[in-house]
Structure 1
């Protein structure tokens, strides 16, 4: 008996309505295999995937090819050629693999013959027609979508959580759904972890999302009103500062690396020696043969070059640092916000002086244009003003997004932190702290919040 692999693909509901559903294809292929005394090895079913998508992106198709390469199949059954391919280039790539392993393919609703030149020509013509039809359909769909986007209309009935379609437009949904989305953004800024946020949503809202779902939600610009790259496409339900800060958290998380041993160090990449300015490295110290060792951080400059480069010789115990931060995170944030507001609201004499000189330069220009002073007078005064302007150095305190810190709830953070795993705990610290300067006596000199 010939060993058969039955390949099934459906991409849209329309195909299902026309009799191409997974069930309909499976029944037709099974019946054909039984009538021709084939031994069915397996069913390979790709759902919701276009035939124009590269075959390498079709998971079940790739599993089928793996079985071909392993010589587990003699023939592949499909209902029609368009279930198989709509790309001539991809077809011949796969056909080369099939021929190398002496595997044939058959369509149960059509008659194709790959053993003759005329048969292969017929396949080429049909694939060209199918590819052209798919290209035209794609162009029509893109044109329709572009027009809908220009008119501010929804291009599908399914919209992100927190929204609904009303009169063909995307508008904020039920108040409860909007509140849930806003709470998700707020809690992610608190926890810094999609996993921990997903768990929170499951415990407090009527939804059980996967961490990846939460991550996709948090990265979706529709929540600030941007849809398919069009700003103000719809009403945003998340303020732009909050959305930007969430994206910054994700960017910082990308730089987080795990240790080669697989151990998770809570403050890896966050601690800097206040003495020499170099990042402190983490290491694990076994505890005299006991099962639980300890994690320490040390100045890398001193560890490598000794006192000649840096005098920070003490090792910082991770447990002690963790306890210190948990107990004092609230006061640290309060002090940081007080200092930040004081610096950003303080008067800046240098900045005011530059503004005065710039105003005088504008006035000088008007005098010259109105023929009230000569060109020589203009050049002389202009050179004097510019010389004074270049001597003034303005140091602006960097503008930071303090929204998450202002909303930070110490008790909520501590409650979740105690039940989280080490990876989630590390994400929570990275969500609020960018860097910590450690003195050579292993005291916190300064915390730079994210």
Structure 2
């Protein structure tokens, strides 16, 4: 009497659609064994897909067959699609079973595989379920692609969002509380280009962000955060971005600024370093002798360690970290003004800011010219294609490049045109922070100290042993220093127009190497100060 193992496989979809229940299959197989006088040794139940043979129960059965050869003659299943839905893998597995002395057989599609002609029927039985699987996968792919073109996000919600279902049963994604706010903060910090991406990820984790480093990198490259859905290239269709139906977390302009930082197209203002409580000035101060960035280290004395800033090159410049840190605290203190004075500055600087915003008109014109140039290039490429001067593949490559640049320019243009931000609402917080800047620096964490230094001094500093020097300070603070100097020199109510004052004046105690006219927007400067 032959001995057989019964293999029963079913997936949830098949059980619902075709009635392939485990009980039904077992009844058919046992009835077949009873009629043909076959002894049943083991019944194996499987609930995995038959696309591959990487299935838990099948792997376990194969291991038993290899360890105990000769204890089973047959592996029985109802149909060949229960065995496999991949013809190539099925042929290899049949060969493996035969070498183990076991014959696979479908009781409802019996084949004597020793007869060569029956291999044609086996090929048909194996190919039919594989074709069915491929058709189902293709239909699913086209359905998902069509949904993406409609602006719907498919699959699990990305970081900062959650999957939801409305009353009609339609699935969508919506911002997740806390997580979405952290992702907004992440993009803003990346755009500033002060800290490294890994530092921002670690800080975001401390704030409560739940994601791995790889998922974080994928997220900050994903245009869905600015409301766009990416549709990859498929056959003759080029890749494209479509407007999503979900709520964006950031603007397109901010997203593209972050991409510029990640791609290295945005100027790096200073070296990105790891934060150390003893060296808040690292990455801000350069060597006065050779111009290289100062690094830091500690030296062991007889009873304790001593901490120093020193040149990273071959220079002999070396200063105690405590001394330089104290000098920086004194330098920050030079920019502390009383609230009455700051209120007086408010009116003057607000007027200056409004005058400077007129420069946006020129920026808008430049963006429009660049946008028109890209559209002209695209039109020219289209004409060359119609005339037969270029191939269709070349045109598709040119169109993809042009579309990418056009999307970037349109986002910047939209941001510039709709930028109606007012500097006045920032004043209350900025005045409060400037009036106690020294206290905020002294009591703040190392990260907060570095943020204050970076806000006050946009360019690198040098230290000659007695005082700090820099080429430029924060635009808002520069205006305040200028107005304060003019007010101090204005005797007996002499009338003076602050709007015509030079922008080149720096605070007393700073000796700039050379005067550099600043084109930075005052709004961002006040925003920095207001958010210290």
Query: TM-score scaled to structure 2, two decimals?
Result: 0.39
RCO comparison, higher one (Cα < 8 Å, 6+): 1
Q: TM-score, normalised by structure 1?
A: 0.45
